[in-house]
């Protein structure tokens, strides 16, 4: 038996630390699509990196996926850059394989929750993905301060890391979402409206 070469809708979410990109991807975008009867799964480039850190660096599952601190983030960033030096496509290749498996298993929509690099952007664009940029500067600052326990120097170090800034100058995302505290209600309605239009134009038209 060979691959069925099925495809579906791909959605990518980008944003800085604490912007809410993961939350919006895993709840609001996911829930909207699920309520429309679509089989949806959330994936992340970073999941494969976290698995590597668990196996190679001995970082606990909880620290990697639920209770990340400054030290854990540094290990992730260091490991990620080291692995990409050997093969800059390593996490893309892993994700692409996972996506093929999901589509072969009748998933309609794949949401990628952690788009951070140009090479990832171009890969998702090549799949005709719908790409969101989530902006929330107040949330981002508050998240960094909490993670760094108030250490402004450590905050500045995280803020200038390539994984945080590489996509800053791109202006070709499909949609931009304001997710700061004052927009947390309106962004939900905005997502719902956008997803309904996308499903109508990209999925229902192909059924």
Name the pTM for this structure: 0.91
Please provide the size of the chain in residues: 207
- At 200 the pLDDT is 86
Residue 206 DSSP label: G
Q: Residue 204 has what pLDDT?
A: 60
Closest CA to 132 of 21, 35, 45: 21
Specify if 24 maps to a domain. Answer: no
Residue (of 111, 101, 95) closest to 30 by Cα position: 111
- The strand pair at 109-115 and 130-135 is best described as unpaired
Cβ-in-10-Å burial (0-12, 13-18, 19+) of 132 comes to buried
Two tokens, residue 131: 């790409």
In a domain, 148, yes or no: yes
SS3 96: helix
User: In this structure, how many other beta carbons lie within 10 angstroms of the beta carbon of residue 129?
Assistant: 19
Whole-number pLDDT of residue 1: 44
Residue pair 64/54 in contact (Cβ under 8 Å)? The answer is yes
Question: What is the model's pLDDT at position 201?
Answer: 86
Q: Give residue-wise pLDDT tens across range 124-177.
A: 999 999 999 999 999 999 999 999 999 999 999 989 999 999 999 999 999 999
In angstroms, the CA 166 to CA 122 distance is 13
Query: Quick check: is 114 in a domain?
Result: yes
How far is Cα 192 from Cα 87, in angstroms, rounded to an integer? 38
**Domain membership flag for residue 82:** no
Q: What is the pLDDT of residue 138?
A: 97
190 within a domain of the structure (yes/no): yes
Residue range of the domain that includes 188: 9-15+30-46+90-200
CA 43 from centre of chain: 8
CATH at 140: 3.40.50.300
- Residue 64 domain flag: no
- CA dist 78 and 203 (Å) reads 39
CA distance 71 to 68: 8
Segments of the chain with pLDDT less than 70 = 1-5, 203-207
Number of domains in the chain: 1
Evaluate whether 147 touches 69 at the Cβ level (below 8 Å): yes
């Amino acid at each position: 038996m060979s691959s069925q070469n099925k495809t579906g809708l791909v959605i990518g979410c980008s944003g800085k630390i604490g912007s809410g990109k993961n939350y919006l991807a895993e709840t609001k975008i996911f829930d909207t699509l699920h309520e429309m009867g679509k089989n949806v799964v959330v994936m992340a480039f970073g999941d494969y990196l976290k698995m590597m850190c668990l196996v190679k660096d001995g970082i606990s599952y909880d620290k990697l996926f639920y209770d990340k601190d400054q030290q854990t983030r540094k290990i992730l960033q260091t490991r990620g850059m080291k692995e990409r030096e050997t093969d800059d496509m390593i996490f893309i290749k892993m994700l692409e394989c996972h996506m093929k498996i999901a589509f072969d298993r009748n998933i309609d929509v794949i949401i990628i929750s952690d788009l951070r690099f140009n090479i990832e952007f171009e890969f998702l664009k090549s799949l005709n993905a719908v790409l969101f940029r989530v902006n929330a500067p107040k949330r981002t600052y508050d998240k960094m301060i909490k993670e760094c326990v108030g250490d402004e120097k450590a905050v500045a170090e995280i803020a200038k890391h390539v994984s945080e800034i590489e996509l800053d100058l791109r202006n070709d995302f499909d949609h931009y979402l304001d997710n700061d505290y004052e927009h947390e209600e309106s962004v939900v309605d905005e997502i719902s409206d956008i997803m309904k239009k996308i499903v109508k134009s990209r999925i229902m038209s192909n059924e």
